[in-house]
Each structure stands twice: as structure tokens, then as C-alpha cells.
């Protein structure tokens, strides 16, 4: 392809920069709930479209909003006063060649299934009201799906990178550990709403963790602070195995806590998520598609979750750039960091981007000419096998949050 550009990037790798900031929002965070559910709706719609019509039709379920409810947490168990509200937004084809799908029912069923499998204490029949605002798409965007070669439905750019730094890996792994089934078995009071902020200065990493406690498992203030300390010890023991190039990892949990303020000085929830009464959620405000929010890295503003996997380059390119970068880093020796950029033109085939660019930070002694042909080969292969990649997206095989 003539529009592939490979260049050397002369900058300090993130791992060697003095300051690094990385965040991850966990399963029960309101933004993660929105991303996860709207993506599941898209995956289920793709399956139903294929079963009913033999093809994936126009849809974008990427304008979801979770409106916080109202609860009254109490030591020993509180009360839900007002349910949360989940709004399904944007566009989805409901009728095609005389056949209809109940798009609203698919969306609501998808949401309920996800909630039952991922949030232990949220009963979707009692604790959430569902509001379907999905409408038919515009004629021109819908017509893209009728064309022999489906083109991009937007002019959009994306960027991905590899490899993850140690800070990025640890922040991701910390949330996954706190939300693992094994951890919940040992600490059932630990809710699913977890947020981890990692701040690395030189070789010291500070993790600030927000962890919702489920009030029914907390009989007293003494029990709350005792269990919080036990959770901290367990987490520190887990992280001790992850040090590698770091000298120290410091952990603080629920820094807003104040033992002198009674129940107001503890992070208590009834259902294990701040969405029950403290915080709303929205698609696109959570983790990037590689699972973290890395402030030292370039990133696009696209919300991948819920977008269709056939023509929406805001989704396809956002995931594909990270895949390309990872493949380049794994298969081409002599690289320290890889950044891949893709930009589409609306209506043009998605496997023919306006530009495909790779920026490389090279190891000492390696010249750009040594690696350029191999890097170009990886990009060309990934673009040539785009249909396989989008099929995996449609099946929900690639996480987006």
C-alpha cells in the first residue's frame, strides 16, 4: 500500500519517563457498566441479525447512560430507595425486507443477563428501570450496509500502542485481582465498584484504590476498618510478586474514610456500586479498549463500546491499532515502543484507510531501514485480513473496556 508511513519516534519511552499516570475503572464502576452492557447489546444484535436476516445491519448502541438511583446504606444492611435507570441510546435497525426484530427486548434482555452475571447484589428486575431510546438510522448511513463493499460510516482516526508498561499492567491486574471470584470468596464485603489510580515516580508506584464495601457484610465500624486493613494486606502480598523493575509499591484504599465520622466516614454501598446512589455512568468515559486509561499515551476520543463491528471505524480502528502495534512489537526485533495510527474516509472500504502510520522507538543500534519492511508487512497483513478481525468483534471475542 502506498499510504503506509513508517517513521522513527525520537522520544523517551514511557517506562523511562520520571512520571507516569494510569487509571482503571472496574466491573462495577458506572462507566464500565455502560460500556460492558452496550457492547453486549451490540454483540447480541449482531447474532440476531445474522440469524434472522443473514447479515449484520446498521446499529450503534454507543450512547448509553446509567442514571444513579438512591440508596440508604447502613451498617448491617441498608435500603434501596429509588432504582437506577439505564438508557439505551442511538440507532438500531428493527425492520428489514418485511421482517422485524424487537430491538428493545434484545437490549433489555442483554442488560439483565450481564447484570446477573457480573454484579452479585444488583437485581435487574428490582434495582434498574430500562429506557429504550433506540431509533432507526438515517437513510444514507443505513444504505452503507446495502452496498457490495461496506464502507466506513465515518471519517475517524485512531491510535494504539505496544507494549504495556509495568505500571499499566499492574493497574489492570490490581482491579482484576480485586474483582476475581477468589477474592470475593475471601472478602464478600468487597463490591464490584473498584477504581485504581497508579502514579509512578521513577521506580516507586503509588496505587490509590477506591473499593465499595457492601454494607450487609459490615456489622460495625470496627469491622469495616479491620476488614479494610486485611484487604490491604492481601493486596500488598499480591503486588509484591509484581515488582520486577520497581523498587516499591505503596497502596492506599478509600482515602476519604474518616473513623470519626461514623457511617459518613466509610465507603458503604447497598449493592456494591456507586451507581446505586452516588455516581452516574456513560459510554466512552471509562477504560480504553486495552483496559486502562494511560495519561502518558496518545488516545482518541472514540467510544468503542456498542458501535457496530462492520462499518464503524471508531470501533474497528481503535481496536485494530492496538492489535497492529502488539503484532509489530512481538514479531519485529529491535523495537522499544510502537504506535500505530489509522484514519478512514467515510464511504471508503475500511480495509483501505486514508493513512496507516507506525511510529517506532528503536533500540540502540537499530536503524529504521532494518525494521521498516517487516513493520509494513504486518500492517498490510492486518488490513488484508480485516474481515476476520471484524467477525471476531461481532462475536464479542475482543474486550472493549
- Look up the pTM and report it: 0.94
Ordered structural domains, the chain, with CATH: 4-11+154-164+290-394 (3.30.300.280), 30-142 (3.30.300.10), 166-278 (3.30.300.340)
| DSSP string for 197-266 | EEEEETTEEEEEEEEEEEGGG--SHHHHHHHHHHHHHHHHHHHHTT-TT-SEEEEEE-TT--GGGGGGGS
Vertex 164, ends 359 and 17: CA angle to 5°? 75
Sheet strands (E) in 267-334: 268-269, 281-282, 293-294
Longest Cα–Cα distance in the chain: 68
Q: Is-contact 356 342, C-beta < 8 A? A: yes
Number of neighbours of residue 267 by Cβ within 10 angstroms = 20
Distance (Å, whole) CA 251 – CA 349: 48
Is 132 in a helix, a strand, or coil? strand
Q: What are residue 79's phi and psi, to 5 degrees?
A: -135, 140
Cell of 77: 444492611
Query: Do strands 281-282 and 293-294 pair parallel, antiparallel, or not at all (unpaired)?
Result: unpaired
* Residuewise pLDDT in 10s, the chain (401 residues): 668 999 999 999 999 999 999 999 999 999 999 999 999 999 999 999 999 999 999 999 999 999 999 999 999 999 999 999 999 999 999 999 889 999 999 999 999 999 999 999 999 999 999 999 999 866 545 555 665 557 888 899 999 999 999 999 999 999 999 999 999 999 999 999 999 999 999 999 999 999 999 999 999 999 999 999 999 999 999 999 988 889 999 999 999 999 999 888 999 999 999 999 989 999 999 999 999 999 999 998 899 999 999 999 999 999 999 999 999 999 999 999 999 999 999 999 999 999 999 999 999 999 999 999 999 999 999 999 999 999 999 999 999 99
In whole angstroms, what is the distance from residue 134 CA to residue 198 CA? Answer: 37
Residue 59 to residue 136: CA distance in whole angstroms: 8
Sort strands 128-135 and 84-92 into parallel, antiparallel or unpaired: parallel
Would you call 165 helix, strand, or coil by DSSP? coil
Cell digits of residue 57: 445491519
From residue 392, alpha-carbon distances to 284, 342, 385, 396 in Å are 21, 19, 11, 6
308 burial level (CB within 10 Å; 0-12, 13-18, 19+): buried
In the structure grid, which three cell numbers stand for residue 398, read together? 475482543
Residue of 66, 50, 24 whose CA lies nearest to 283: 66
Distance CA 291, CA 307 (A): 17
Amino acid at each position: 500500500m502506498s499510504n503506509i508511513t513508517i517513521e522513527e519516534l525520537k522520544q523517551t519511552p514511557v517506562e523511562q519517563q520520571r512520571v507516569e499516570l494510569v487509571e482503571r475503572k472496574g466491573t462495577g464502576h458506572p462507566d464500565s457498566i455502560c460500556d460492558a452492557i452496550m457492547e453486549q447489546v451490540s454483540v447480541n444484535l449482531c447474532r440476531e441479525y445474522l440469524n434472522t436476516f443473514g447479515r449484520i445491519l446498521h446499529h450503534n448502541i454507543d450512547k448509553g447512560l446509567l442514571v444513579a438511583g438512591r440508596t440508604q446504606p447502613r451498617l448491617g444492611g441498608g435500603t434501596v430507595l429509588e432504582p437506577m435507570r439505564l438508557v439505551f441510546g442511538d440507532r438500531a435497525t428493527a425492520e428489514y425486507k418485511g421482517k422485524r426484530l424487537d430491538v428493545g427486548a434484545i437490549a433489555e434482555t442483554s442488560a439483565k443477563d450481564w447484570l446477573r452475571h457480573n454484579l452479585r447484589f444488583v437485581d435487574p428486575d428490582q434495582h434498574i428501570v430500562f429506557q429504550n431510546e433506540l431509533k432507526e438510522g438515517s437513510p444514507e448511513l443505513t444504505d452503507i450496509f446495502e452496498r457490495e463493499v461496506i464502507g466506513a460510516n465515518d471519517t475517524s482516526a485512531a491510535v494504539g500502542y505496544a507494549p504495556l508498561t509495568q505500571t499499566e499492567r499492574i493497574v489492570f491486574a490490581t482491579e482484576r485481582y480485586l474483582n476475581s471470584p477468589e477474592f470475593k470468596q475471601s472478602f464478600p464485603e468487597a463490591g464490584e465498584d473498584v477504581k485504581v489510580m497508579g502514579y509512578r515516580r521513577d521506580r516507586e508506584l503509588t496505587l490509590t484504590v477506591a473499593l465499595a464495601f457492601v454494607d450487609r457484610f459490615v456489622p460495625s465500624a470496627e469491622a469495616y476498618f479491620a476488614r479494610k486493613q486485611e484487604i490491604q494486606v492481601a493486596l500488598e502480598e499480591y503486588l509484591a510478586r509484581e515488582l520486577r523493575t520497581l523498587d516499591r509499591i505503596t497502596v492506599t484504599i478509600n482515602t476519604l474514610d474518616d473513623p470519626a465520622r461514623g457511617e459518613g466516614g466509610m465507603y458503604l454501598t447497598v449493592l456494591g456500586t456507586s451507581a446505586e446512589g452516588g455516581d452516574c455512568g456513560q459510554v466512552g468515559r471509562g477504560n480504553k479498549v486495552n483496559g486502562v486509561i494511560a495519561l502518558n499515551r496518545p488516545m482518541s476520543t472514540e467510544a468503542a463500546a456498542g458501535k457496530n463491528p462492520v462499518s464503524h471505524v471508531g470501533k474497528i480502528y481503535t481496536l485494530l491499532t492496538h492489535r497492529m502495534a502488539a503484532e509489530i512489537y512481538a514479531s519485529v526485533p529491535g523495537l522499544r515502543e510502537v504506535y500505530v495510527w489509522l484514519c478512514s474516509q467515510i464511504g471508503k472500504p475500511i480495509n483501505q484507510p486514508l493513512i496507516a502510520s507506525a511510529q517506532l522507538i528503536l533500540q540502540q543500534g537499530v536503524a529504521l531501514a532494518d525494521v521498516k519492511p517487516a513493520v509494513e508487512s504486518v500492517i498490510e497483513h492486518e488490513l488484508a485480513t480485516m474481515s476476520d478481525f471484524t467477525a471476531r468483534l461481532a462475536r464479542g471475542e475482543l474486550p472493549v473496556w
